Amino acid sequence: MLRLIAILLLTALAAAAPAPARAQYPTKPVELVVPFPAGGRTDIIARQWAAAAGKHLGQQVVVVQKVGGGGAVGSIHVMNAPADGYILMATTIGNQVLRPISATVPYRYDSFAPIGQISAATLVLAAKSDRPWKTLSELVADARKRPGAITFGTPLKLLPHLTVARFARAAGVDLKHVPQTGDGPAITATLGGHVDMVVTSVGTILSHIKAGNLRPLGVFSEARDPALPEAATAGEQGFAVVGEPWTGIAAPKGTPAEVLARLRSVFELTIKDPEFVAGMEKLGERIVPMRADRFGARWAQDFEGLEPVVKALK
């Protein structure tokens, strides 16, 4: 009888004992998938972020390349990965927004959960210095008088081309695109007078602007670029067009809320980490942080703004 009572008491105590606490995320290293080749801009930024994030996350963040299809291979890999926070993606406007518009892929821009934006380059529209325009408004006024006569050079159907096409669409003017094989040839063509204008990143073109060979008409960013403060944004000049080549971090859609909260908290700490900031400065990369809610909204805005432009060019 006493034995029976003892067994019953032990059973009751076991039932009343609290369940073991679930291990706090993360309990193992986290993979950061880069959908572009090693050594490129996205890879370099991702490695800087991963090194700093690991300190604040308490686990190593390991960069893994999944390359192909203009970023689609890596994006599909992450989309299909377990939504548990152990596989993340270094994402860009190219693989996440432009690829679903221009190609048949099994994902959309919103097939992922935003963690945060790390950086964004500033695109500037610059004219050969002997051209008459000083602002976007002056350019538009002239273009309305001479449809199709004013030319610009960029690589075909990449963000610089699409941003100018979007600007022309918003302004109701016809600017003639002259395809180039890269930013360098586009700048050379503009300096040589073969085209009137070029659009590329501020960092790529700044020396030519400072030398007086090219004149900035405006930048397609949300705020003026610190390296070129005299160039007003398109928005300031009355044209609601933003085209920024951004890089950020995303997770598979369906990742638990508590895991996303932890990742977003770590993201905030990482972009302020002194070693990360110093590393980005050394690379010449500008940190343009954006929290998850705004970053996710940017995905939608870019998709909605660029989709009709890409379809019109097909």
Identify the band that residue 22 occupies on the pLDDT scale cut at 50, 70 and 90.
low
For the chain, give every residue range classified as CATH 3.40.190.10: 123-219
CATH topology of domain 123-219: D-Maltodextrin-Binding Protein; domain 2 (3.40.190)
Predicted pLDDT at 120: 94
Report residue 115's pLDDT band, with 50, 70 and 90 as the boundaries. very high
Residue 16: the pLDDT is: 46
Is residue 164 a contact partner of residue 136, using CB atoms and an 8 Å limit? no
For residue range 155-189, list pLDDT tens digits in order: 998 999 999 999 999 999 999 999 999 999 999 99
Q: Strand 287-291 vs strand 112-120: parallel, antiparallel, or unpaired?
A: antiparallel
| Domain 30-120+245-293+308-313 CATH (choose: 3.40.190.150, 1.10.10.10, 2.40.10.10, 3.30.2010.30) | 3.40.190.150
Q: Is the pTM of this model over 0.75?
A: yes
> Residue 23: which residues within 8 A CB-CB, separation 6 or more?
none
Residues 6+ apart with CB under 8 A from 115: 88, 248, 249, 250, 251, 260, 263, 264, 267, 292, 295
